[in-house]
Homo-oligomer: A and B are copies of this chain.
Amino acid sequence: MCFPSSRPSLASDAPIGIFDSGIGGLTVAHAIAQAMPAERMLYFGDTAHMPYGDRSPELVRTYSVRIAEFLANEGCKAIVMACNSASATAKAAVQASVPSNVPVIDVVAPVVRHLSRQGVQRVGVIGTRATIGSGIYGHSLREAQRSGGMMDGDVQEWATPLLAPLIEEGWQSHELMLPVIQGYLEAAGWHAGDQRHIDALVLGCTHYPLAEQAFSQVLGPEVHLVDGPTVVAAAVSAALKEQGILAPSGGPSVQHQFMVSDLTDNFVRSAQRFFGKEVHLVPGGPWFQH
């Protein structure tokens, strides 16, 4: 697909395009709706190809670019990559595939900025194989710490691929969540109270905020859990303000659109949990044929 280098003008009443490999990104959509109730969203969950966290970087890029082009074609004024695995591997490719004045907001950079502004020193990051394998959080955080003059910062990254399936199954408060989280952290050499303790944990997957309580229980109250979706929603707001395309408030009540590339009963049930209220999923998107 070929876009002009920039679109003549961006309409402030156009929707924000949001995508994720599945329904986890609805936690980000929820935070955006809370922060900016006048904004309309077009959400796309690539449920036919999920989970991106187990795919190769090349394939995640191919899928992400195809979706971003679709959302831009639908007239979206901004693109939110509400998926850590896509943010970690496909940000530049997505940015290059849409008109240059359409802001692209990923879920990694805002969190890194937030942590470095707060001067957090010892940071743990958990996420999918694709996210952790990319090293994006460690790389960006270390760079931000160095450029902020912080010399003794420490970043540890742990792949925790079972957590998303557990949360997707609705087990975020199940008694087994605690030993699974503990098992992962201990396998990585982490023990409560020891020298490798951390000041903050980045929940580097859009599913994880639903299990916040379990993480708190394992890590103790002194470890700060970074609320990714809220931080990302603030970054989206700032980007829209900068372009002068915030939706006019006081208009008619906002109707969002939620599309998925494969629709099953299970996704319908889970979507509500992730968005916090009822969601009407419809099949659609770039691969939609039947």
Binding site for B on A (CB under 8 A): 48-50, 54-56, 58-59, 129, 161-162, 165-166, 169, 171, 174, 176, 179-180, 183, 262-264, 266, 290
Contacts and interface: CB of A to CB of B under 8 A. Distances in A.
Nearest to A129: B266
A27 to B, nearest CB: 19
A58 B59 CA distance: 23
A46 to B, nearest CB: 11
Nearest to A267: B54
A49 B49 CA distance: 5
Contact of A165 (B161, B176, B263, B266): B161
A56 B169 contact: no
B176 A180 contact: yes
Top 10 A-B pairs, shortest CB-CB distance? A165-B165, A59-B262, A56-B264, A56-B262, A162-B169, A55-B262, A162-B165, A129-B266, A48-B59, A176-B179
A169 B163 CA distance: 11
A56 B169 CA distance: 17
Nearest to A290: B58
A279 B56 CA distance: 19
16 contacts: A48-B49, A48-B55, A48-B59, A49-B49, A50-B54, A55-B264, A58-B290, A129-B264, A161-B165, A162-B162, A162-B165, A162-B171, A165-B165, A174-B183, A176-B176, A176-B183
Contacts of A48: 49, 55, 59
A172 to B, nearest CB: 13
Contacts of A262: 55-56, 59
Contacts of A165: 161-162, 165
A216 B264 CA distance: 32
